[in-house]
């Protein structure tokens, strides 16, 4: 496994490759971000961004979304995978924001994960991007990159990946690193065809070296 120092060396290189990495989900406030992240489970940000402008134009606030007919919500998000469940979740989530949090998105992980459709990853994205709270959300890209570079064990669960990253990366860099690793995984170390042949991290990447040896 990579040491703390080597992990930061790899991440510094990723920062240089993707200096403008940021949340790609379209949103104007914490509520819209929360809804967009719920919708992004097992779906691409691109597909979510195609649907949310019309959804947010029709239902811009928790009260509007909570009162919207479920079929109308489904109609707005039916291009996104798992849209029926997600429609139920975002409507129920909006209702709970009104009932329990005065219509505001809560800031703590404990409160966020108590909302319908919100797991630890979603809570971490909202904490980091809406409120600037230190958090590392482990999505498919962050997990894949962390494992390929052996920042964590190949057998690590998502929670173990998060714990390892939090141990190896200074807290003030968690949010920036989360975005940078997503960009690195989305645009460079892709799931099916990572760009190992032009990767500046090849010298420290076992996965890349073994892929290159097979070519």
What are the residue numbers of the active site?
A: 121, 139
Q: Pick the closer one to ligand SF4 by CB: 4 or 78.
A: 4
Find all residues with CB under 8 Å of 9, minimum gap 6, and list them.
204
Q: How far apart are CA 72 and CA 190, in angstroms?
A: 36
Q: Give me the numbers of helices (H) and strands (E) for the chain, helices first please.
A: 12, 0
Q: Is 107 exposed, middle or buried (0-12, 13-18, 19+ CB in 10 A)?
A: middle
Q: Name residues contacting ligand SF4, limited to 113-172 (CB under 6 A).
A: 148-149
CB of 166 to ligand SF4, least distance (A): 21
> How many chain residues bind ligand SF4 (CB under 6 A)?
13
For residue 92, state whether it binds ligand SF4 (rule: CB under 6 A): no
Piece of 18-26, 98-106, 107-115, 202-210 that binds ligand SF4 (CB under 6 A):
202-210
For residue 189, state whether it binds ligand SF4 (rule: CB under 6 A): yes
Please give the span between the terminal C-alpha atoms of the chain, in angstroms, as a whole number: 25
Q: How far apart are CA 200 and CA 13, in angstroms?
A: 7
How many Cβ atoms are within 10 Å of 160's Cβ, its own excluded?
14
For residue 201, state whether it binds ligand SF4 (rule: CB under 6 A): yes
Q: Pick the closer one to ligand SF4 by CB: 46 or 215.
A: 215
Interacting residues with ligand SF4 (CB under 6 A)? 148-149, 188-189, 194-196, 199, 201-202, 205, 207-208
């Amino acid at each position: 496994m990579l040491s703390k120092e080597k992990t930061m060396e790899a991440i510094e290189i990723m920062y240089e490759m993707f200096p403008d990495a940021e949340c790609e989900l379209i949103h104007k406030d914490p509520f819209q971000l929360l809804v967009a992240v719920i919708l992004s489970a097992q779906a691409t940000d691109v597909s979510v961004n195609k649907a949310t402008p019309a959804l947010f134009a029709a239902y811009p606030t928790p009260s509007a979304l909570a009162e919207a007919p479920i079929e109308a919500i489904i109609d707005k998000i039916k291009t996104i995978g798992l849209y029926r469940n997600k429609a139920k979740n975002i409507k129920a989530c909006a209702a709970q924001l009104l009932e329990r949090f005065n219509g505001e998105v809560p800031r703590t992980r404990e409160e966020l994960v108590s909302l319908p459709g919100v797991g630890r990853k979603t809570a971490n994205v909202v904490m980091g991007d809406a409120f600037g709270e230190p958090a590392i959300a482990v999505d498919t890209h962050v997990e894949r990159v962390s494992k390929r570079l052996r920042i964590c064990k190949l057998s690590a669960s998502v929670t173990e990946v998060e714990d390892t990253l939090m141990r190896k990366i200074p807290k003030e860099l968690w949010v920036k690193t989360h975005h940078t690793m997503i960009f690195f995984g989305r645009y460079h170390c892709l799931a099916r065809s990572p760009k190992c042949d032009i990767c500046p991290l090849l010298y420290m990447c076992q996965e890349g070296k073994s892929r290159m040896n097979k070519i």
